[in-house]
Structure 1
Amino acid sequence: MKNLNLFFILILLLSLGSCRSDSESPAEITVDNTIKTGKISGRVMSQNGNKSIGGASVFTFDEKYKIYYTTSDSNGNFTLEAPVGNHTIHIQTGNGSNFRTEISATVKDNETLSLNASQTKLNQVAKIAYIKGNYDKIEDIIQNLGYNATEITNADLANITTIAQYDIIFLNCGSRNYNSNQSLYPAIDANLAVFVANGGSIYASDWDVAYLVGGTDNTTSCSLPGGFVPDTKLCSTNTGSSGIIPATVNSAGLSTALGFNTLNIDFDLGSWQKITNYDPTYWEVLVKETSSNNALMIRTNHFTATGIPATPIGNAPNTTFTTVCITLPGNIQISLSVPTAAVPYLVALGATVGPCSGSTNSGYIYYTSFHNHATGNIGNAGVILQYVILNL
């Protein structure tokens, strides 16, 4: 009986082998895992086409939400490898919440599609406001890029309903006028805390550090009354003297976007604000003095405070985009704004909701000890300030 069973097994194996065609041989079965790609090229420009924009994120996704990503060089030029097919090409600065553009494009196998200048202009999504200053005119730089900003006052800063409609507020040096508006500042301090804690971003220059850490028109010592940034995080005193200071760009991302990493900053007025102490875990130094390593330009998105009410800020409540953190090969993390409908698929691939660093809901605070007046002698600092505008 045992031999008979072996005979039937042998017959069965022979019959299975005789049913397989030559074309089905395991050695000849192959799976094509090659993804056909083409290229998208172009030059990222400001809204009015006057300024090329370096350091912009350019990306798209395939049908499985794999990201294809590159950045523009200091002249705004980029070449993106992308999968064949119809895609939306995204161009963004910062995390994409304030400036972004979407382009429909058809990518063909092994071909390069060149986008024209009208397609690659970076659009303003944010609502921007500024306080007029005595020494600075950031609004001129904004306008020179082709973007719009609304002038508001210190009385407006004291009204949370007014400032909550904006995404970004620029505080020009000399705008504080503390003695004329002293009664407003408790409300201003509280409102700026609410604004930043809920995603609004602020830029302040020179003397206007007093909006951040307290003081009158400027700050003369550490731990002064007022402000909304904790005193342990920053101290600045008006002890700088006029002259040219050699500086170094301390951020790789900023240096790539600008195309240079050293510059001379003209402090054309005396008594400018020197950053005398800061918490390096709270602030990122973007520009520093070459000789002393003293910080000249810092930013943070780590602002938190207890008891801050949840308040809708700017365009965020109306947008169909969400900020996510995506990890690229090489463990490089990037914060981007993506269509909200895509978020579950990206999370399934390992993305996380919110920015890659900083507090989840915090906006950015940028501070420069140097001025931003568009008509002044600020040299290369001018393009640094263009970067600030586009990356808040």
Structure 2
Amino acid sequence: MKQSYLFIMFCTLMFLVSCKGGDDSIIQEDTKTLSTGTVEGKVFAKNGTKPVGGALVFTIDNKNHVYHTYSNADGTFSLVAPEGNTTLHIQTGNGLNFRTEIPVTVKKNETITVAGKDSKLNQIAKIAYVEGSYDEIETIISNLGYAATQISYHDLKNLNTISQYDIIFLNCGSRNFTQTGTNTPGNDLEVFDNLSTFITNGGSIYSSDWAAAYLVGGNKNVISCGLGAGFINYTQICFSDSGSIGMYNNCSVSNTAMAASIGFNTLDIQYDQPLWEKIQYYDPLFWEVLVEKGNEALMVRTNKYTNKNAPKISVGTSLNNNHMTICHHTPNGNMITLTINQNAWSAHQAHGDNMGSCSGSTNSGNIYYTTFHNHASGNIGKTGPILEYVILNL
């Protein structure tokens, strides 16, 4: 009887061990049964020179278990994975906009190195921007090796035009405001409705400084807090053009993942123009603060925006039609946002994964807002890596 009891206990233990699988990290039990090797390399932007930190690097085995790591601030990574032929996935953000897939053969107890020419992040997204007076996020995009299409303020009035893009960058001081016939974007409900629909259906936007007017309404800029006609309510965020020329010393990168990706958590920010938009208040349940000075938010983002009345439309490039974003649940209780082929969804769902991003309760795109941008002189110091991070993680 005692032997039978011990045998049952042994079988139960073996069942529990096998259920843990090899998901996400080679746990101790798996090292007894799995033959593994190491894949190492360095993630670059498309220009082949800019290292990319914080990129998700992973493989998926034939049981849809995920083995993952992240690139360091210098772009280097080292991943332990089961031996055999597999695909190495490299992604930033949720993986819909920038990703790379590399066939590799993992060899038992050996380390293989991925060539730098193969570990460049490819641009999947279609990117657009509205020209600014001197804020030129498109220059940073181009320097990273990626392409963006210039659109006009008038194009924002055409939902069919903007829906072909995945990301829209709204530069500070957009020149096209005065070409609308209204002179006040705050009265241009068509633009705000289109941006609202675009984001609700998965498109992402970035706006900086005076381009806060795209969010909450206003003229070329937001003069002060008050009722506006933008698509974001003033109770969720409020701006005023009360910033002055000067240096903000000892600012903090408050998001730990972002700090790890760019390699620093403090910086000095030079505001070289007067009347820049200060964030007077924000809803902390709606916005995540990424950079701040004391209790003053300088950079925020959200993926919680949604408009239940917005029409359902297809947004973005057709290259993403067979891919989807999921929230992958690891055995140790962590969650990872990644993009997979739609054909693999049923197996991941069976593991307990969820559709959509792990952060936020909607399938909407991201909204990034920064009080700072690239200076007229082009000397932006440590805000440069931050803006590069924004581009790759929208």
Superposed pair shares fold, TM > 0.5: yes
Q: Contact 2:124/2:319 (CA < 8 Å) preserved in 1?
A: no
CA distance in 2 between partners of 1:267 and 1:122 (Å): 31
Match of 2:322 in 1: 320
Matched, 1:250 2:249: no
CA distance in 2 between partners of 1:182 and 1:211 (Å): 16
The structure-2 alpha-carbon separation of the partners of 1:258 and 1:286, relative to structure 1 and needing over 3 Å to count, comes to same
Q: 1:228 aligns with which of 231, 238, 245?
A: 231
Q: 1:336 aligns with which of 313, 335, 338?
A: 338
CA distance in 1 between partners of 2:361 and 2:177 (Å): 30
Give a deviation string over 1:177-230, Cα, whole Å, max 9, x none. Answer: 544425472211110001000000000000000100111111112233221112
> By how many angstroms is 1:373 displaced?
4.5
Q: Contact 2:57/2:90 (CA < 8 Å) preserved in 1?
A: yes
Give a deviation string over 1:122-161, Cα, whole Å, max 9, x none. Answer: 0000000000100200000000000000000000001101
CA distance in 2 between partners of 1:314 and 1:97 (Å): 10
Give a deviation string over 1:270-313, Cα, whole Å, max 9, x none. Answer: 11110001000000000001xx3200000000011131000100
If the length of structure 2 is used for normalisation, what is the TM-score?
0.89
CA distance in 2 between partners of 1:317 and 1:390 (Å): 17
- Greater shift after overlay, 324-333 or 104-113? 324-333
Q: Contact 1:56/1:71 (CA < 8 Å) preserved in 2?
A: yes
Q: Output the aligned Cα RMSD.
A: 1.8
Ranges of 4+ aligned residues in structure 1 off by more than 3 Å: 30-33, 176-180
CA distance in 1 between partners of 2:205 and 2:343 (Å): 29
Aligned letter for 2:139? D
Q: Contact 2:133/2:175 (CA < 8 Å) preserved in 1?
A: no
Match of 2:4 in 1: none
Give a deviation string over 1:87-109, Cα, whole Å, max 9, x none. Answer: 01100000101000000001010
Aligned letter for 1:342? A
Aligned letter for 1:272? W
Q: Contact 1:303/1:359 (CA < 8 Å) preserved in 2?
A: no
Matched, 1:276 2:280: yes
Match of 1:97 in 2: 96
CA distance in 1 between partners of 2:375 and 2:128 (Å): 16
Identity of aligned residues (%): 51
> By how many angstroms is 1:332 displaced?
2.0
SS of 1:88's equivalent in the other structure is: strand
SS of 2:122's equivalent in the other structure is: coil
- Greater shift after overlay, 232-241 or 318-327? 318-327
Alignment of 1:280-291 (within 5 A): 280-289=284-293
CA distance in 1 between partners of 2:356 and 2:372 (Å): 31
CA distance in 2 between partners of 1:315 and 1:283 (Å): 27
Match of 2:380 in 1: 378
Q: 2:308 aligns with which of 277, 301, 306?
A: 306
Q: Any gaps of 5 or more consecutive residues in structure 1?
A: 1-25
Aligned letter for 1:144? N
Q: Contact 2:141/2:391 (CA < 8 Å) preserved in 1?
A: yes
Aligned letter for 2:141? I
CA distance in 2 between partners of 1:103 and 1:180 (Å): 46
The structure-2 alpha-carbon separation of the partners of 1:244 and 1:48, relative to structure 1 and needing over 3 Å to count, comes to same
Q: Between Structure 1 and Structure 2, how many residues are aligned?
A: 362
CA distance in 2 between partners of 1:321 and 1:221 (Å): 42
SS of 2:46's equivalent in the other structure is: coil
CA distance in 2 between partners of 1:155 and 1:71 (Å): 41
CA distance in 2 between partners of 1:264 and 1:325 (Å): 35
If the length of structure 1 is used for normalisation, what is the TM-score?
0.89
Match of 1:152 in 2: 151
SS of 1:113's equivalent in the other structure is: strand
CA distance in 1 between partners of 2:36 and 2:377 (Å): 46
CA distance in 1 between partners of 2:143 and 2:178 (Å): 33
Give a deviation string over 1:50-84, Cα, whole Å, max 9, x none. Answer: 20000000001112111100000000000011101
